[in-house]
């Protein structure tokens, strides 16, 4: 099943999540006009970045546990 194995360690989906997280961290670090447009500002971007960074790891842990 492709859905269950969506976030394999070397998959494209994992790379996209990590890249999106790094973009969120960079936008939060240079909190100019981009961070002001996002609800919560730079802190909100950090929260989204952490969520994107941890999502593949949580997905794999849940898949292994159950």
Residue pLDDT, tens place only, 5-38: 566 666 788 888 888 999 988 888 887 666 667 6
Report the 10 Å Cβ neighbour count for 59: 18
- pTM for this predicted structure: 0.71
Q: What is the pLDDT of residue 4?
A: 52
The domain spans of the chain are 12-65
Q: Contact, 26 vs 33, CB < 8 A? A: no
Q: Is 57 left (phi over 0), alpha (psi -120 to 50) or beta?
A: alpha
Residue 57: pLDDT band (50, 70, 90) is: confident
Q: What is the pLDDT of residue 8?
A: 65
pLDDT exceeds cutoff 90 at 45: no
Query: What are the distances in angstroms from CA 16 to CA 53, 59, 64?
Result: 10, 15, 22
């Amino acid at each position: 099943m492709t859905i269950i194995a969506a976030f394999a360690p070397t998959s494209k989906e994992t790379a996209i999540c990590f890249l999106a997280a790094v973009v969120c961290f960079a936008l939060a670090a240079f909190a100019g006009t981009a961070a002001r447009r996002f609800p919560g500002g730079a802190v909100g971007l950090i929260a989204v970045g952490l969520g994107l960074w941890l999502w593949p790891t949580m997905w794999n842990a849940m898949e292994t546990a159950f």
